[in-house]
Amino acid sequence: MLPAELGGLEALKELLIDETSVRDNPLGGDSKKLETLSASNPLSLSLLLHSFERLTSLSELSIDNSNITELPDGVGELVKLRRLSLSNCHWIRELPESIGQLGRSLEELDISGMGVSELPDSFGNLQSLKVLKMDYCFLSEFPSSIWHLRSLEEMHASSCTNLEGEIPGDIVELINLRILKLRYSPISSLPPEIKFLSKLETLDLLHCDMLHELPALPSGLFIVHLSPKLKEKVSNLLVDRGFIVV
């Protein structure tokens, strides 16, 4: 336990309780200058107090590998939150609709290894999001809301074993995408529209064994990771075009 008086530290900017046995977040409404709260790899933490939305200066929240079962609706009130990391929070089954209220602030979101099988409709409101990490997720398809994220620069969706079928042509809407990682995912095809992603630099398709051919790729692409069988088919062509095939 941490003393309740901790919540009265009005000038506190950073609280790190990673890898501790602290069970509850003791912060209250007086910690309005707190900018960083990190509670990753906790031994006992299973609850975020619903009053934590009063932390109006919070810019970074990390609760990786915790036993927390839900993200409170109040997360939408954290209007300065830039980075939210929920990696391996297996017991969180859904994200609240209120997460869409972070559209002007949130730049990085990590939901890798979470128990989430679909994203809320409000997800497309995250117009400032630059980095989305959802490796080992349970999504069976990319929700249409993802294609609204015009600021997105990196999308990590490796080892998503339920992610089957075609990547839709709507991916062309991600005009700022630089890195796309889909390794160990059973996708079957990439759309021809991918060639219009002019800022794409890295495409990772390693061990995407259901993928048997590639469409024309963006001219700015620099590094391509391919499964062995696909590499045999197209590596010479890609090397001739200046790509580094790994």
The yes-or-no verdict on residue 246 having pLDDT over 80 is no
Residue type, 239: V
CATH of the domain at 161: 3.80.10.10
pTM for the model:
0.91
Burial (CB < 10 A; 0-12, 13-18, 19+), residue 101, is buried
Q: List, as one string, the DSSP characters of 137-194.
A: ---SS--GGGGG-TT--EEE-TT-TT--EEPPGGGGG-TT--EEE-TT--EEE--GGG
Domain range spanning residue 173?
A: 4-245
Residues 55 and 25: beta-carbon distance below 8 Å: no
| CA 138 – CA 161 distance, rounded (Å) | 7
Cα 178 to Cα 190: distance, rounded to the nearest angstrom: 16
- For β-strands 60-62 and 202-205, DSSP reports them as unpaired
Task: Assign 87 a pLDDT band (cuts: 50, 70, 90).
Answer: very high
As a whole number, the mean pLDDT across the chain is 88
Going from the C-alpha of 216 to that of each of 88, 167, 184, 196, 219, the distances in angstroms are: 35, 14, 22, 9, 9
Q: State pLDDT tens for residues 106-153.
A: 999 999 999 888 999 999 999 999 999 999 999 888 889 999 999 999
Distance of CA 59 to CAs 49, 73, 124, 160, 180, Å?
A: 17, 17, 20, 28, 26
- Domain total for the chain? 1
